[in-house]
Amino acid sequence: MRKIVITSGKGGVGKTTVTALLGRKLASYGHRVVLVDGDVGLNNLDVVMGVENKVVYDVSDVLDGRCRLHQALVTDGDSGAMVLPSSSRKLDMSPQAFRGVVSSLHCDFVLIDCPAGIEEGFHRAVSSADEAIVVTTPSASAIRDANKVVSLLSTYKLKDVGLVVNRVRYDMVRRGEMLSSKEIGTLLHLGVVGAIPEDDHVTIFQQLGIGGEGSVSERCAEYLAQNIENCTQNLVEPYLRRRWWR
Ligand SMILES: Nc1ncnc2c1ncn2[C@@H]1O[C@H](COP(=O)(O)OP(=O)(O)O)[C@@H](O)[C@H]1O
Ligand SMILES: [Mg+2]
């Protein structure tokens, strides 16, 4: 079982979006995937995955013995990915308790959606994982926060740390107005495992639960999922430049 935390430092850069895109793809390849909402208090992975109406129990019910772990898992009907919802109540959940729950999952991939910041919630999520994906947007402030997170991650025993650059505008990259994913990877000393462009389909899918098939973000999520599945770092950018942005 591979346990991967999706983290960033800065909020709003796309951790939850990347968790959902990657989780759906890996599940559609036939892997058993559990997406764990590590954001206690400001949990929203269930909403982004469109399963919020199916949630009966959450991780705090598991910890307090009100239900079994499998009873708290909700399945995304389309992809088959499962979601372990977080709690908006149990704010004092210890890293050990959270780690215990994550370790008792039976699946191929656990993706932990990390909260923003570098406080206790960050520690709880990162210490429950073996690998990390750092998400950043191409903005200078997001890259700076990602840099802080990369140094913090080096204090954990992680097997691998990869980078996903989100909200890339290839037209701007081409004009030299935005750093490319490769350049950002070099700045952060991380291998790029994925690049997701700015794409209205991301918002539309999250709002309405429809569309997205064949969209540029969906295609890029496929590259990301293949890189994660095969532990490779094939860069999507040259392909994108050729195909979609002229
Ligand atoms: N590639 C993208 N293209 C367009 N909108 C995006 C993209 N990635 C994220 N968003 C939007 O940005 C907002 C923040 O994303 P989210 O995944 O919730 O960030 P985080 O989990 O890091 O706080 C959401 O409204 C989401 O729909
Ligand atoms: Mg989030």
Distance CA 125, CA 37 (A): 9
Distance CA 134, CA 235 (A): 16
Nearest CA to ligand 1 atom 10: 14
Find out whether 241 and 170 touch, Cβ atoms under 8 Å: yes
For the segment 215-221, the average pLDDT, to the nearest whole number, is: 90
Q: Find the CATH number of the domain harbouring 102.
A: 3.40.50.300
Q: Which atom of ligand 1 is nearest to the CA of 39?
A: 21
Ligand 1 centroid to Cα of residue 17, in Å, is: 6
Find out whether 37 and 145 touch, Cβ atoms under 8 Å: no
Predicted confidence at residue 240, as pLDDT, reads: 66
Predicted confidence at residue 113, as pLDDT, reads: 97
Q: Which atom of ligand 1 is nearest to the CA of 200?
A: 4
Is the C-alpha dihedral spanning 99, 206, 220, 107 positive or negative? Answer: positive
Q: Left (φ > 0), alpha (ψ -120 to 50) or beta: where does 117 sit?
A: left
Three-state SS at 27: helix
How many folded domains does the chain comprise? Answer: 1
Strands 2-7 and 33-37: unpaired
Ligand 2 centroid to Cα of residue 42, in Å, is: 8
Q: Which atom of ligand 1 is nearest to the CA of 135?
A: 22
Find out whether 136 and 165 touch, Cβ atoms under 8 Å: yes
Nearest CA to ligand 1 atom 6: 202
If you search the block for the tokens 């690049």, which residue do you land on? 195
Ligand 2 centroid to Cα of residue 206, in Å, is: 13
Distance CA 44, CA 24 (A): 16
Ligand 1 centroid to Cα of residue 153, in Å, is: 23
For the segment 103-107, the average pLDDT, to the nearest whole number, is: 96
Task: Write out pLDDT tens, residues 9-65.
Answer: 889 999 999 999 999 999 999 999 999 999 887 889 999 999 999 999 999 999 999
Per the structure, the complete domain to which residue 9 belongs is given by 2-243
| Ligand nearest the Cα atom of residue 39 | 2
Find out whether 126 and 153 touch, Cβ atoms under 8 Å: yes
Q: Is the predicted pLDDT of residue 246 greater than 50, yes or no?
A: no
Q: Is the predicted pLDDT of residue 197 greater than 60, yes or no?
A: yes
Structure tokens that stand for 142 in this block? 């997001």
Structure tokens that stand for 82 in this block? 């499962």
On average, the pLDDT of the chain sits at: 92
Q: What is the DSSP letter of 114?
A: P
Predicted confidence at residue 127, as pLDDT, reads: 97
Nearest CA to ligand 1 atom 14: 12
Q: What residues line ligand 1, using a CB cutoff of 6 Å?
A: 8, 11-17, 116, 166-167, 196, 198-199, 202-203, 206, 217
Q: What is the DSSP letter of 54?
A: G
Ligand 2 centroid to Cα of residue 18, in Å, is: 9
Predicted confidence at residue 128, as pLDDT, reads: 97
For the segment 225-234, the average pLDDT, to the nearest whole number, is: 96
| Ligand nearest the Cα atom of residue 221 | 1
Strands 74-75 and 82-84: antiparallel
CA-based radius of gyration for the chain: 17
Ligand 2 centroid to Cα of residue 246, in Å, is: 32
Predicted confidence at residue 244, as pLDDT, reads: 54
Q: What is the DSSP letter of 99?
A: H
Q: How far apart are the first and last CA of the chain?
A: 41
